[in-house]
Amino acid sequence: MKRGMRAEDLYKLKSVKNPQLSPDGKNVVFVQTVINEDKHDYESHLFISDIDGKQVRQWTFGDGSDNTPAWSPDGRFIAFTSTRSGKSQIYLISAEGGEARQITSCLNGAKNPIWSPDSSKILFEGSLAPNEKLTDKKRDKKEKNGDKLPEPMVVERIRYKSDATGFLDDKNQHLGIVTVETGEVLQLTDGDRDHAAGAWSADGQSIVFSADLGEDPDFSHISDVYIMSLADKQLTKITPSTGFFGSPNYSPDGKYITLIGHEKEYKSATLSRVWLYELESQSLHCLTADLDIHVGDIAIGDFHSAIVDQGAVWTNDSKGFYFLVTDQGRTAVYYGTIEGEMYPAMNDNEHVYGMTINPDTHEAVAAISNPTHPGDLFKVNLSTGERTQLTYVNDDFFKDIELSSAEPITFDAPDGWEVHGWVMKPFGFEEGKKYPTIIEVHGGPHAMYANTYFHEFQMLASAGYVVVFTNPRGSHGYGQAFVDAVRGDYGGKDYQDVIAATDYAVEYLEYVDADNLGITGGSYGGFMTNWAVSHTNRYKAAVTQRSISNWLSFYGVSDIGYYFSEWEVGGDLIEETEKLWKHSPIAYVSKVETPLLILHGEKDYRCPIEQAEQLFVALKKQKKETKFVRFPEANHELSRSGNPKLRIERLNHIKVWFEEYLD
């Protein structure tokens, strides 16, 4: 007898990601991540499979996590990052197997290894504080544990914290090159700016990278792409300082560089596109200007994390490249040419969350997920679409599990805009029976629910709920006008889309119990949950997660608040305070009648926990039905990559709350 999915099953699932084909196309290395249930922590190791999937072998072992594998161009070695020595450092392992060798010992770690064309050097990134060098060794501790006195933190820049890394401590990402044979490190950049490594030129004489080197990055909000001549470290800026550009890749013939980015025409709601820089003419132009699709994978999920998107990956003839797109609830693969022709190469209703190609044969190994399949690797012929599954990492576990499929739905909002989504029937579904139903709202808002595995949805369906999840306006995947439509109108037409999803479920899904509706969401989805319960009483229970309740305070406490509030809501703390308050759910808190569970991480710097605290106190002051659950040391990524024990606790709190208030 099969059973449904439980929150605790997260401990049993394996994630495969970041595949990389060997230069001869015969093998693929990838990362497999599991959760150590005893340590409540993640363990990642490298695995290798032959291209037909007949032999899959674990390649690295031991403590720590191994990630971001990269084959040397001569096929002799695999470089990867590992935390086995404490901080993340770069290691080498032979393609024949054996012990891995550490080749960097950077003070604050090293990451993102990128091989030189002749396989003799590796470009990488390292974090440095002022006056530190990549060649500095680990310092001896002068103070014994507990003897160090607290010091004040002096803040002079508006960007002094990040949800990803916490307080920034004046550290910046810099670029270095390590010589494989000797371990000698050459530092390429310095100063108080972050740099992201891109690629080597075909002749190995230059690198390309992205950075914001403007006078005041607190306010410029751009990312430019630069070419650095390694002979003299001279820089050539190839983008116009008008937006966000990154993921640069040289063509094999050295004539072109592809970039992914945009010029901020719609601020944070702008579609990313493919751009081409011609080195001879020093000209830059957009290749996908006529393609109303977001380039890159921006699908929302709660299973895989630390996914690497390589940008536009060239074929060896230098005439074209492959790249990921987010479109209509799927993440697909497109092929583009230097003349600007674009064709879908993989366009099924699924989530392609990783890809590596054989640049000679147009064959790929893709990491693919769908709502009933967390993810595996597949060999794909990009010309014919023929595919072969290479890994089956969760098949044994799923022999005893029944998963709920996601059925696509479309409906019209009150103003006629079409909205797309899915519905999951509950485990053990019986015709003629009515079930409590939960409306899920994703974060972003510029993201997309997709044809991908979602552990939270499967757990709720297993507990007996219909799960409805949709992409209201503001979501990616449906064109530029759709994703931009939410800006300045938070709680307006986007809210009507959420209500329209609820109306559709009640009217057209005969198994939905109209008197037993719940709503939940995180981040922007938490905002929308707060907004919904302060504007309607049709939901019997709600769970708001890592939410926004007050745009006025969010402006000053979020790591992105001072510009995100202006770009998205259209207000600020100086001249447009009324606009921020008008769109704040807490302004309408007196109207909340729905029992509301509030979940929030204590180290969330994106939507800081004071947003939850304000909401909780305001509700309690009115003696409304509410509960507040705080997750220690958890940041905004709790549901996706947080402490596994806390992820399970979060899921069970959601389930128990709905069980208490929905019949």
Residues with catalytic roles:
523, 636
Q: What does the alpha-carbon distance between residue 324 and residue 274 come to, in Å, rounded to a whole number?
A: 10
Evaluate whether 473 touches 466 at the Cβ level (below 8 Å).
no
Question: Which residue in 430, 429, 437, 409 sits closest to 542, CA to CA?
Answer: 437
Half-sphere exposure of 327 (CA within 13 A, CB side): 17
Structure tokens at 145: 């544990």
Dihedral sign for Cα 556, 558, 559, 561, please.
negative
Beta-strand relationship, 418-424 and 273-278: unpaired
Rg of the chain, C-alpha, whole Å: 25
Q: What does the alpha-carbon distance between residue 380 and residue 385 come to, in Å, rounded to a whole number?
A: 6
Dihedral sign for Cα 301, 84, 367, 120, please.
positive
SS3 string, 454-505, reads CHHHHHHHHCCCEEEEEECCCCCCCCHHHHHCCCCCCCCHHHHHHHHHHHHH
DSSP 41-100: EEEEEEEEEETTSS-EEE---SSS-EEEEEE-TTSSEEEEEE-TTSS-EEEEEETT----
Q: What does the alpha-carbon distance between residue 310 and residue 308 come to, in Å, rounded to a whole number?
A: 6
Question: Which residue in 90, 163, 167 sits closest to 129, CA to CA?
Answer: 167
Question: Which residue in 427, 413, 410 sits closest to 467, CA to CA?
Answer: 427
Structure tokens at 426: 């509950």
Q: What does the alpha-carbon distance between residue 490 and residue 498 come to, in Å, rounded to a whole number?
A: 12
Question: Which residue in 530, 502, 517, 549 sits closest to 592, CA to CA?
Answer: 530
